[in-house]
Structure 1
Amino acid sequence: MGPTVTSLIYIGLSLDWAVRAQMGPLPRPTLWAISSPVVSRGADVILRCQGYLGSDRFQLWKDGELREERNASWQQADFLLRNVDDWKDARSYSCRFGQGPLWSELSEALDLVVTGIFPKPSISASHGSPLYPGATATIRCDMSGQASSQDYSFALLEAKSLEPLQQQSTAWTWVDFSLPSVRLEDMGSYSCIYYKNKVPYSGSHPSNTLELTVLGQLPKPTLWAQPGLVVAPGTNITLWCSRPKLSSLAEVTFTLWKVLTHGHLQQQTSSGLWTSFILPSVRPKDAGSYSCTYREKIASFRGSMYSDYLELVVTGSLPKPSLSALPAVVVEPGIHVTLQCRQPPQTFLSGLTFTLLKMGSPQPLQRQSPAGTSADFLLLSVRGQDSGSYRCFYHRRMAPYEVSEASEVLEIWVTDALLKPSLSALPGHEVASGSNVILLCQGLPWSSRFILYKEGIMTAIQDEAHFLLTHVTPKHSGNYSCSYQPGTTGSLRTRESDPLEIRVTVPSNILLIALSCVSFLLICLLLLAFLCHRSIPIGSLHREGLRRVFCCPCLPQGVCQPHHPEAPTDEPLYTEVARGTPREPSVHMAEDLEGVTYAHLNKRTLNKRQEDPKENSTEPTVYATISLD
């Protein structure tokens, strides 16, 4: 497996774990003991932890401490306790399962009781035997002569498997277990024990066995078919017949029957709760109604009632019909819908029976034997549970029992069955700029297409529920929603989900850099504007040059003219200094009151006067005037 494939698998698993994390904690597993939480000292027992799809590891905890952890590729894990002892093994157990980085809650606690430590109790019944169905049976378990029962509980057991049927705590040394309105299923062998209420859960030896007999016919079994009730010719069919659990029945004989057939079809003897009957390579003649029964092998006079009839249809010998819906395939709740099954127009067969099927239902919904070439099946005041896939077929009512092919599937949708979707974001609804965001639209499991909206406008439509937004920027911020299309109905869309706001934030360092750049540009613009409106007259050449350099490229021509056009053009901008001939110092005063006059002192002259006070200075004093308009 290449690194790319491995990376994709890892990303997929990470996404699945992230989705599950948003959906909440993992469900609680189930822990039970095989064959019973009541086990004899020295025996072996299996503690089975049942998780959920995707479970990859399991932990077994004993008295609140981790005892064992193991990986498992299935949804369950078995922990084997060998040669159990009442001191170290008669404890309280729980388990949990993991999916990726997530762990489920701990299961409900299972108290393992180890028997064979204390003397056995006595068991008795307050009724005669046999019992009639509906009577009340009372079974007493008594530990008389033993220690006080305040620290003990009692359990009524199925004698063969030691499976607990009832449990009670009492301050007396005996307890009564009641079986109100007994049924045939209550018939069997019973025993009882008493055990400590606190760890270690040490128990007594099981009592002697008490037989409970109930008169009447055995309860009816259940019959079902694989792969289904409507099959093509040549298909191998398996009919399964299962009976209720009756501890008094060690071994039974199952029988398969077909209506309008003399005698039974097949028989099987089994000590289990079910058996199978094989119909290989079925033909149209195999179509019909089937049922099954079971009977005690030893007392052959006691048999069960017939199971519910199962209608087997073998299609293909006649052309398939058409199925249509009135008023429409998508309707509001409470509307009456008529499904019309019509035989092909080129066939004009009479004496037909039409049958309506709903996929997922074990039995046909309706049957009709009209005089014409079609049958109308009425669905009254439809509700969400009436949504689904429908088919129909027809067959002759008399020999030869030919059956048509099944019609094409017709999908019926009731709008209240279309659940409103939900929209969630991974890793969250607030992300940094440049990140990737996954928007998950959750609808019905069989949704065929998903639609994403931003601010109520459709932005994407695809077959996957995950919408990927890559390298998001602030423009991706906004309110998102989604809808979905159920099944293959392309024109129907559900309501939009509640809006989900996505906020894309800019990281602080990028924001600081952006603000710095903007501030620098503003400073440059302000400086340029200042130079354009406030020039510094350093000299006539410099003054006009600077105005032209800084102002004229960006401002109108009138702005570039001198600020005081009435000033004489020959006004000296500076005072020449003659080094050889002394001149009278002159000071030029600005004509306007806003002018500023500066005086320049010759530092060398001052220094010389300090050295020779009698020497007259030959350096003139220089004054300069700078006008700030």
Structure 2
Amino acid sequence: MSTLWAFLMLWGLLLSPATTEAAVAFQTQPDLWAEVESLLEPWANVTLTCHACLETMDFELFKDGVTQEIVHLGLPAMEYQFPLGPVTSDTQGLYRCRSGLSSGWTQLSNLLEVTGAETLPPPVLSTEPVSWITPGLETKLLCRGGFRGVTFLLRLEGDDQFLEVFEAPTGVEATFPVRRPGNYSCSYRTHAAGAPSEPSATVTVEELGAPLPPTLSLQGASAAAVLHPGARTTLVCVAPLSGVHFQLRRGEEVLQVPMSSTSPDRVFFHLNAVALGDGGLYTCRYQLRGQPTWSLDSAPAELLLSDETLPAPELSAEPATPRPAPGASLQLRCRAPRPGLRFALVREDAGQRRVHRVLSPAGTEAHFELRDVSAADSANYSCVYVDTEPPFAGSAPSAPLELRVEGPPPRPQLRPLWRGAVTPGRDAVLRCEGQVPDVTFELLRAGEKEASTQTRTAHRSADLVLTYVGPQHVGNYSCRYRRSWPKVLVSEFSEPVELQVAGS
């Protein structure tokens, strides 16, 4: 079997006997650690080992964000060793590696700090699978160091008697089961008489009576929809951990509906032919395998069913202008013939309809607020109402109301989450803050057309990370956001932020 074929199979879909399909993403990130001649003098003679996940003929070593050596082997191998020898001021730094993959490279490895100092650099402490404990859940703390063959020490803040020890004669990581909540840190020592390393950053583990809630949304990430009887829809429930049993409910009623999955942390509930009585608030929850306790309920997703047999409501704007100025606020008022109804404001743009908000006013009129409007709010709006009591009839949609806001969307703001010059080899994080949700944020350096990094989010801001910064990253950066659906929307660039790298 070829390496490429094995790789493609590992990326395939696996069928689960529990009616779910799990997509398993094969990890391609290589591992980097230090091999030392003697743990009594760890910096006296050091070799860095880059271990790949697939056989390859290509390896690359970086220090402080800059390539140090590229190796092309005659035969495929799983790892390559880069000798450093005695650590000096020239070889001190922050190292990463990567390995060849098909016609390109894998992502960068973990970060390895080589200091040569008497006090050893700190390890990295993390939780798996989540940062809380609850009955039936096996939460673990993973402490990863840079040397093979060391002894790891786990401590609990506020308890001087607490000390767990784990010897890793051939590995670089220790796994500690967690049974108590608290603030944990770990360190390591290279030999019994040696001083411990600097401690890791503190990790907090909470104790919960019930697992944290999942998230529930309609496919397309909205929280509500207006449907006709007989329509199909899908609800997506996502848990904070994998391998759980999911349940869909409407009120307190447990619903037995077809399910599928593309990942072990989520499930798709398929509602194949909704009827008028199927409207309402839906929630989901999950259960750890073999445990009686259910998680907290998700925030609800709402379905409104309308057969369009009731008279259409009237939709108006206050102030009554179809072209409000950017930054203005206005109120869309939906009026029905009688009180006691559930109203939905629907936005339609480029042929796509999406519920903007749902209200249940005491009177006959629902007031939907649009604040600080921009070009992102330009669309055709309509409203509907439904009766939440039998026979659950619903109205036809109101006549559409067109809103057009001229000009570009609001300019974002960019700010660095560091002070001074960035240490070579560390990450530089910049926060781009806009006013429009469901966009892709991009970070660009002055003079370049391609984004240095980008991320899509449902929120109005995003942290943009320049990984493993080196001298080549020096420059002025700006951010913008864009959206291609339901129509193209591109903001102006933010004011620039200068990135300086120490020693450059």
Bigger RCO of structures 1 and 2 (CA < 8 A, at least 6 apart): 2
Q: Higher strand proportion, which one? A: 2
The TM-score with structure 2 as length reference comes to 0.47
Q: Higher helix proportion, which one? A: 1
The TM-score with structure 1 as length reference comes to 0.38
Decide which structure has the larger Cα Rg and report it: 1
